[in-house]
Amino acid sequence: MLLQFTEEQIMMRDMVRDFAKEKIEPWVEHMEAGEFPRELLTQMGELGLMGITAPEEFGGSAMDFTSYILAIHELSKVSAVMGVILSVHTSVGTNPIIYFGNDEQKQRYVSKLASGEFLGAFCLTEPSAGSDAGSLQSKAKKDGNDYVINGSKVFVTNGGEADVYIVFASTNTEAKTRGISAFIVEKGTPGLVIGKDEKKMGLHGSRTVQLTFDNCRVPVSNLLGAEGEGFKIAMANLDVGRIGIAAQSLGIAEAALEAATAYAKERVQFGKPIAVQQGIGFKLADMATAVEAAKLLVYKAADLRSKGLPCGQEASMAKLLASRTAVQTAIEAVQIFGGYGYTKDYPVERFFRDAKVTEIYEGTSEIQKLVISKHLLK
């Protein structure tokens, strides 16, 4: 497969590339200091990026899935924080409503999510239900015209900043995964308590919080899909969401490769640039090969999704390979920079810290292998 993008996709990619260079790059140090980039998200909304694949009737840009992946890839080359915020907002914050919501829910939420007025978040993981998402303990009980949600969620990306939360809770514990339901919970709903803001190794500037639902009452009209359909909603959106995280990983890996290559060409030791010394030249060759392989897999998965074809297996393969490539490439980039790479004067230590979580969130690498092997055994 050759990577051939349409004129429209290239225009969009170049627009995001320019935006990242002009607007996001100056913000990187603020994000590193922990500031949440809300004003950048507003600007991304104005550019149509917050609703890039959302239908036009809800104010979206109605672009294809590959365009969305190009956007995350480009953003993440400059800031992996912007990549994860957009990926979570779109893949698991907005798409569940687009694909499983009724007309009223779409009218009410999608336009605001697509314009960037609202930010989306996804609440599946719990303190004792991470990889085994189906064992979640949160419960939702019907009470008149409401559901009352109780439980705790952890590692909620965009949590505390988001306006809309897609929340998974059991409405029938005996039915196990078939008893899990999905709800739309708005910021400010009484009983939705924002907890600890995690201090993370990387992705500073992206919010990751704990949430508690303490008799949190939402109207029956906020049930997403049918009762018991929640686990399938979560899995189906994660299938696709994982391509977004793969694109984020690809952006980090490419940025690390470019930084390491530029440095190796300039840095002279033993009378010549380190790039032409075999130890470093071979490292760069391995890094470039891995990045190219990851790119092909990421855009293959994106292309399948754009064409409406099944892509669960390819999405997991893309995430598995691209996240591994991000981590390995960032480690080698730090090595090539030597002592300087270990300082905050160069970006490679940030790439290294930001890369690690791509092997963990939206399904660990071990879970991706489980999903791939299940497809192989079907």
Q: Is 100 in the site for ligand CAA (CB under 6 A)?
A: no
- Provide the minimum distance between the beta carbon of 261 and ligand CAA in the complex, in angstroms, as a whole number: 29
DSSP-derived pairing of the beta strands 120-123 and 164-170: parallel
Stretch that binds ligand CAA, among 61-69, 100-108, 286-294, 362-370 (CB under 6 A): 362-370
What are the tokens at 246? Answer: 């793969």
Stretch that binds ligand CAA, among 105-113, 122-130, 295-303, 329-337 (CB under 6 A): 122-130
Map the footprint of ligand CAA across residues 154-173, applying CB under 6 A. 155, 157
Nearer to ligand CAA, 177 or 335 (CB): 177
Among 125, 152, 313, 325, which residue sits at the site for ligand CAA (rule: CB under 6 A)? 125
H-type alpha helices, 144-276? 230-266
The catalytically annotated residue of 32, 74, 332, 362 is 362
Q: Which stretch binds ligand CAA (CB under 6 A): 47-55, 192-200, 282-290, 360-368?
A: 360-368
The 10 Å Cβ neighbour count of residue 92 is 26
Verify whether residue 198 is a known catalytic residue.
no
Task: Answer yes or no whether residue 134 interacts with ligand CAA by CB under 6 A.
Answer: yes
Q: Of 215-244, which residues contact ligand CAA (CB under 6 A)?
A: 231-232, 235-236, 238-239
Total interface residues for ligand CAA by CB under 6 A: 26
H-state helical runs in 182-272: 230-266
Amino acid identity for residue 46 in this structure = E
Q: Which of residues 31-50 bind ligand CAA (CB under 6 A)?
A: none
Of the candidates 80, 88, 154, 218, which one interacts with ligand CAA according to CB under 6 A?
Answer: 88
| d(C-alpha 267, C-alpha 263), whole Å | 6
Geometric angle at alpha carbon 248, from 247 and 251, rounded to 5°: 85
The one among 19, 36, 58, 122 contacting ligand CAA by CB under 6 A: 122
In angstroms, the CA 244 to CA 247 distance is 5
Single out the residue of 43, 137, 177, 261 in contact with ligand CAA (rule: CB under 6 A).
Answer: 177
SS3 (DSSP) at 69:
helix
Pick 59 or 225: Cβ nearer ligand CAA:
225
* Token pair recorded at residue 255: 């940025």
Which tokens go with 218? 């939402």
The nearest distance, CB 34 to ligand CAA, in angstroms, is 18
The answer to the question of residue 371 lying near ligand CAA (CB under 6 A) is yes
Name, in order, each residue with C-beta under 8 angstroms of 83's C-beta and a sequence gap of 6 or more: 72, 73, 75, 76, 244, 247, 248, 251
Rg (CA), the chain: 21
Look at residues 136, 181, 188, 142 and name the one whose alpha carbon lies nearest to residue 164.
188
- Name the token pair of 224: 């997403």
- Among positions 42, 102, 128, 131, the unique one binding ligand CAA when judged by CB under 6 A: 131
Report the residue number, 125 or 329, with the smaller CB distance to ligand CAA. 125
Query: Which 8-state DSSP code applies to residue 20?
Result: I
Q: Which is nearer to ligand CAA, 27 or 100 (CB)?
A: 100
How far is the CA of 152 from the CAs of 92, 137, 361, in angstroms? 19, 8, 18
Considering the complex, state which of residue 228 and residue 273 has its C-beta at the smaller distance from ligand CAA.
228
CA 160 to chain centre: 17
Contact 320, 369 (CB under 8 A): yes
Site string for ligand CAA, 300-329 (x = CB under 6 A): ------------x-----------------
**String of b and e for 160-189 (b: at least 16 CB within 10 Å)?**
bbbbbbbbbbbbeeeeebebbbbbbbebeb
Minimum Å gap between C-beta 206 and ligand CAA is: 9
- Residue (242 or 350) nearer to ligand CAA, CB: 242
Report the interface residues with ligand CAA, using CB under 6 A: 84, 88, 122, 124-125, 131-134, 155, 157, 177-178, 231-232, 235-236, 238-239, 312, 361-363, 367, 370-371
| Active site residue ranges | 362
